[in-house]
Structure 1
Amino acid sequence: MNTFQKSQLLAASAVAALVGGTAQAQVTYPTAELHAMGASSVAVVLPRELNCVGPAGTKNNVGKNDGTSAPITEGAYTGTDAPFDCATQAIQPNVGGKYISTGSGGGKTAWKNIDASAFFTGAAGAIFPSAFGTTWSNPHFVMSDSPLSTSELSSFAAASTAKKAGAAIQFPLYVLPVALAYNPVYGVKTNPDSSTTNLSFNIGQPVSVAGNVVGGLRLSKKVYCGIFNGYITNWNDAKITALNLKIVNKKSVAVSLKDANDTDARWNADGVPIRLVGRLDKSGTTDIFTRHMAATCGASLDVGQANKYLNAAETLPYSAASGIDLTKERSDTNYKPSVSTASLAGTADMISGVIFDGTVIRSGRLPDGSAGSYTETPGKFIVADGSGKVAGAINLAADKASASDATVLLNGKIGYIGADFVRPAASQTLHAAALEQGTSNATKKPVFLLPTALNAQAAFGTKILPPQSDKGGKYVKTGTLLRSNPADWYNALYNGDSTLANAPVGYPITGTTQFVTGTCFADPKVRNALVAFLNASLGNLKFTSANAKLSADTFTGVKAAKQGIKASMGIAPLPKAWKVAITQTFLEKSKNKAADGALLGDANLYIQAGLPTKGGLGKVNVDLNAVGATPLPTSNPYVLNGKSGKTEAAPNPGCTAGLGL
């Protein structure tokens, strides 16, 4: 047997062994580029994960719906068990991906229609990033912090019938702590010699990571509910000062947030007005934030103060009677008089009509395009399009004149945003408030926590289980929630005794970012790339395509010594039970049986044609980009380079070869 024959036999044996798992081989997948869009909350962490899958040495830009795009810094896993530098290494070197931060609502709109083109028409807030090439006909997947609605699922089903995209898939992929972010510099003072001095919040107990302050402004439930309901409107409020405890002579003493270079007279006269920053677009991050506010604030506000957050929604409380119409700033915004109240978190007048456009804070334009006359109002929101602009607004240099001192300009903004946009996440400058842990505001010794992966993981806990799952995530017949119903993968998060909306322990404003796709893909290369990414993100892979060892913690580690790509950006991985349930349901044709003997794989929820998904993926390399290699199989068994082999799963019978997403 010559060398060529040996290599062909090894290749065929490697692929065939993927069914039984004995040779435990990895395959180098053909070149494919994933197209994705949606939640801006993960517009940093998701591209970083795509970068770590591949291609090596090439940064996957994140696109914005204003037509711009920017590279995302590569990540690295530094655990001593198997260090992995995403800048120089790749799990699948031929697999790339591009993500457009449209907001959850924009992503779901493109998904439900299986058509992204309508969103990128050049209208306000909807321009395809020029660096991404031609407009996509459809996204391969979208991310959303808010759940799919019944109407969105119905729309996808209708579009899928025509385009053969198969069944809808929705499951949580990231555990997302939503930070209350602030700029530590609250103002700038011009000195007599024309030099300037920054005025920074005097935090009694600042929190540092690796020697760098990352936040620590303490906010109890009573206080942050009061702030975001518009009842507490200045940082010099006594309720905030009472939380700013400094240790003096081994005793806790409440101290002012005032910078030592500011004057008592100015601080006491007008302090620093609190300026709220929220989202202009239909935002899943808003959904997580408003869900928590609705669940928490009714019992936390002072007597006589009504909670303006009535339910979870992608849009903040808004009064149609205000007449504010911001559709000229973002065509699909809900801040318009004709909005359905069902899409709002409440009907209180909480929107000022002022926006941050990426450069300046200004009045929103009127529907005819002319300049509006909306004015910034204490206790009402400035809004911005996407998480990036929310961060930009909070980071903006001080621009508000002090009412009592002409030499001082003030900032004072605070807003809600995904934890990958605040310190200690890489390249971020915003600080995060430390929020009170617990379900009530009555604890004698409150604990204040930052939005970290560990604290978000504690909030999620281990009692929230996937549909039809035992405590380990294995498939069971019983349960009112079904794996076959994509809505139930979200409903399970808030089912029964679940208190994720107001967790008893851990970081209080914690939700999830959902991965949304279908079961069928027109191009097998895309399907393989997608599942390779998912297996990497879930921590299922143990080797790269080059047979280098890959730590299970590369993406999912949360402890300091083995911090994965998610945790380095403040995002937590899913508990083990969810990882098991997602893998067995969607990434393989599982032989797991329910009590009645029914096979999970027979539900046909797995992504078309299956993939090698289980651990130990190394030893022998098969390069499907090699000269003479046949295309990826769409049947089972199949012939690869002249030798027959089998995929782990037969083609999903609900899919049609050559059709799908």
Structure 2
Amino acid sequence: MKALLMGSVAFAAMGVASESAQAQSLAFGAGATFPQIVYRQLMDCMYTQAQGSPGRPGPMAKAANCIGFNTSGFGGVMLYAATGSGNGKTVLRTNDKTQIGTPSSSAPAYTSANWNVNSTADYDGVQFVGSDDVVNAADMAAWNTGGANSPQAKFGNMITLPAVVGPVALGFNGKDGTGATLNILPATPAGGSSGLNLSRNALCGIASGHITKWNNPILTALNGGVLGTGNITFVHRTDGSGTTFLFTNALVEQCRYEFGPNNETDSTVVSYAFPWTDRAQSCSSPLVPRGANQVNWPDQFATNQCGTANANPGGGTFANASGSGALVTLVTNTNGAIGYASSDFWLPVRVGGLKTANVQSQWDITASTGQFQPPTPAAAQKAMATAIPQMDATSRPNPLTWSLQGVSPNPVVAGAYPISGFSWIFMYQCYQPHANGNNAYLWFKTWLDFVYGSGAAGIFNENGFAQVPNVWVGEVYTLLNDPANGPQGSGCSGKVGAY
């Protein structure tokens, strides 16, 4: 606390009232679109509202559960460009603000999520990124490659922290393939926005392209009668998306033992296992379906990276969009469409948004509950509470430890929403001071303390998210306070540090 107070005095002395964005800014980040709205509201609550000068959006409303802007009393702003998890990883590795992609324009102005300036001119370096896609072996190889010029040599360890818990919700158009209104039962008291129920078999059949019509008998049996007619159009992301990772990572695990008719006119029983392979895999390895931020959807890639056709034997209809906002727009404007995005893009979080489906969990299947889970914050938190970290002083500094333990692709607990995950903060171990005297890590750490504290719970929940379970928060602070491997620790000796 003494260090924070001393930092605030030094920061105030720098002239926070200056018109220069670089004199006011605390920290800069880019990456995942999944948490962009809740990040913006958490940043605006802790620091000064991102608003004001010509050419920038604003003013923008604060979160209902925030008592006011700049509750830290420190002033300054934090900026976050929602560009996708894949781009976030690139930006972290290069520590180059010019690598930041085009920010999402999907978040409504009242959430202030689009204070993602149209250029990066105001970005005084990059201190952190967001990603829903976990760190993998290829990421670590890239981090450690390059000798004296590698990110490891320049910036120290990559530090990965779970920051947000959220469900990946399945929003639907509300119309069948012909444009007629779907015959959906009323929403149940469980907290969902609709009565559309998808068993595991149904969801796997749709995503694999075998359940192709709204009058499919499997859907009819689940929903008290025929829902409609015409094609189901499944809309997916084309960009490198952590939301796609969470969705595919769940379905690869959950769908492996599901079977059903090839389609509505072919009764041949086939596997409904998730069939679309990882686009990033080397062609020298056998291509397999696995959780990935970009996969070989049949409408996006005629062939996979080995030149083999991406077959669609069930004949399902697929469509694609880049970014969560564009996906939601496409679902909205396409008859019979259903697609995936974080819960803040749909009802009830998004006022006037589309409804979402309820999904069967492993507990519902095993215990024969007859229930289906809506994508609520509480249900997502239950799912991720089943991922319990087991770390020690040796394994904790390794990002792969966090990645391997920080997923729950098939939670087995009552009331858990089965497609849930963490959105992660990736940061550097070593930082250098900025030209304006700003200690960016100090201000970023102050925000992290707010993110993990009890005062932020309401902001998470109103945006359709939940806070990280306490068992993970304990591991976060053990690493952050590690005198050797934590940020600015003794392991930074001789390293340049990220700007």
Indicate the TM-score class for this superposition, using the shorter chain for normalisation.
0.7 to 0.9
Does the CA-based 8 Å contact 2:156-2:497 persist in structure 1? no
Alignment partner for residue 171 of structure 2, among 181, 198, 202? 181
* Correspondence 1:102-121 to 2 at 5 A: 102-118=83-99, 120=101
Whether 1:466 and 2:389 are equivalent positions in the alignment is yes
Cα separation, partners in 2 of 1:228 and 1:161, compared to 1, 3 Å: closer
Cα separation, partners in 2 of 1:512 and 1:120, compared to 1, 3 Å: closer
The Cα of 1:526 is off from its aligned counterpart by 1.0
* Correspondence 1:439-458 to 2 at 5 A: 441=365, 443-458=367-382
Cα separation, partners in 2 of 1:90 and 1:277, compared to 1, 3 Å: same
For residues 485 and 215 of structure 1, the distance between their equivalents in structure 2, rounded to whole angstroms, comes to: 42
Alignment partner for residue 38 of structure 1, among 26, 31, 38? 31
Q: Which amino acid aligns with 2:271?
A: Q
* Correspondence 1:499-510 to 2 at 5 A: 500-505=408-413, 506-510=416-420
Structure 2 residue aligned with 1:417 = 341
Cα separation, partners in 2 of 1:378 and 1:71, compared to 1, 3 Å: farther
The Cα of 1:156 is off from its aligned counterpart by 3.0
> TM (normalized to structure 2)?
0.78
Q: Which amino acid aligns with 1:511?
A: G
Per-residue CA deviation, residues 140-192 of structure 1 (Å, 9 max, x unaligned), is 11111112233322333445559832221112211221111112355897xxx
Q: Which 10-residue stretch deviates more, 524-533 or 278-287?
A: 524-533
For residues 119 and 338 of structure 1, the distance between their equivalents in structure 2, rounded to whole angstroms, comes to: 27
Whether 1:388 and 2:325 are equivalent positions in the alignment is yes
For residues 56 and 171 of structure 2, the distance between their equivalents in structure 1, rounded to whole angstroms, comes to: 24
Per-residue CA deviation, residues 352-392 of structure 1 (Å, 9 max, x unaligned), is xxxxxxxxxxxxxxxxxxxxxxxxx9514211111111111
Q: Which has the higher strand share?
A: 1
* Correspondence 1:60-459 to 2 at 5 A: 73-77=61-65, 84-86=66-68, 88=69, 90-118=71-99, 120=101, 131-134=118-121, 136=123, 138-157=125-144, 158=146, 159=149, 164-186=154-176, 199-207=180-188, 214-244=193-223, 254-258=224-228, 271-302=229-260, 303-307=269-273, 308-309=275-276, 310-318=289-297, 335=301, 339=305, 348-349=310-311, 379-396=316-333, 411-427=335-351, 429-438=353-362, 441=365, 443-459=367-383
| Structure with the greater alpha carbon radius of gyration | 1
Structure 2 residue aligned with 1:654 = 492
For residues 337 and 196 of structure 2, the distance between their equivalents in structure 1, rounded to whole angstroms, comes to: 13
Cα separation, partners in 2 of 1:155 and 1:60, compared to 1, 3 Å: farther
The Cα of 1:413 is off from its aligned counterpart by 0.7
Cα separation, partners in 2 of 1:104 and 1:530, compared to 1, 3 Å: same
For residues 121 and 219 of structure 1, the distance between their equivalents in structure 2, rounded to whole angstroms, comes to: 35
Identity %: 25
For residues 54 and 182 of structure 1, the distance between their equivalents in structure 2, rounded to whole angstroms, comes to: 36
Q: Which has the higher helix share?
A: 2
Q: Which amino acid aligns with 2:135?
A: L
For residues 51 and 328 of structure 2, the distance between their equivalents in structure 1, rounded to whole angstroms, comes to: 22
Does the CA-based 8 Å contact 1:177-1:451 persist in structure 2? yes
Number of aligned residue pairs: 445
Per-residue CA deviation, residues 399-436 of structure 1 (Å, 9 max, x unaligned), is xxxxxxxxxxxx11101111121222144602111101
Does the CA-based 8 Å contact 1:168-1:486 persist in structure 2? yes
Does the CA-based 8 Å contact 1:209-1:424 persist in structure 2? no
| Structure 1: 5+ residue stretches without partners | 1-13, 19-23, 62-66, 78-83, 123-127, 190-198, 245-253, 259-270, 327-334, 352-376, 399-410, 469-475, 495-499, 540-551, 557-563, 589-600, 609-650
The Cα of 1:446 is off from its aligned counterpart by 2.2
Structure 2 residue aligned with 1:472 = none
For residues 52 and 72 of structure 2, the distance between their equivalents in structure 1, rounded to whole angstroms, comes to: 15
For residues 462 and 423 of structure 2, the distance between their equivalents in structure 1, rounded to whole angstroms, comes to: 17
The Cα of 1:605 is off from its aligned counterpart by 2.2
Per-residue CA deviation, residues 331-358 of structure 1 (Å, 9 max, x unaligned), is xxxx4757369xxxx984369xxxxxxx
Q: Which amino acid aligns with 1:156?
A: W
Alignment partner for residue 555 of structure 1, among 431, 452, 456? 456
For residues 237 and 161 of structure 1, the distance between their equivalents in structure 2, rounded to whole angstroms, comes to: 52
Structure 1 residue aligned with 2:432 = 522
Cα separation, partners in 2 of 1:380 and 1:115, compared to 1, 3 Å: farther
Alignment partner for residue 452 of structure 2, among 538, 541, 547? 538
Does the CA-based 8 Å contact 2:29-2:128 persist in structure 1? yes
For residues 507 and 42 of structure 1, the distance between their equivalents in structure 2, rounded to whole angstroms, comes to: 18
Per-residue CA deviation, residues 489-522 of structure 1 (Å, 9 max, x unaligned), is 111235xxxxx11111300111211110101222
Cα separation, partners in 2 of 1:203 and 1:135, compared to 1, 3 Å: same
Alignment partner for residue 568 of structure 1, among 457, 462, 478? 462
Structure 1 residue aligned with 2:112 = none
The Cα of 1:464 is off from its aligned counterpart by 2.8
Structure 2 residue aligned with 1:482 = 395
Q: Which amino acid aligns with 1:305?
A: S
Structure 2 residue aligned with 1:48 = 41
> TM (normalized to structure 1)?
0.60
For residues 441 and 340 of structure 1, the distance between their equivalents in structure 2, rounded to whole angstroms, comes to: 37
The Cα of 1:582 is off from its aligned counterpart by 0.3
Tell me the secondary structure at the aligned position of residue 175 of structure 1. Answer: strand
The Cα of 1:217 is off from its aligned counterpart by 1.1
Alignment partner for residue 472 of structure 2, among 566, 578, 602? 578
Tell me the secondary structure at the aligned position of residue 443 of structure 2. Answer: helix
Does the CA-based 8 Å contact 1:519-1:655 persist in structure 2? no
Does the CA-based 8 Å contact 2:302-2:310 persist in structure 1? no
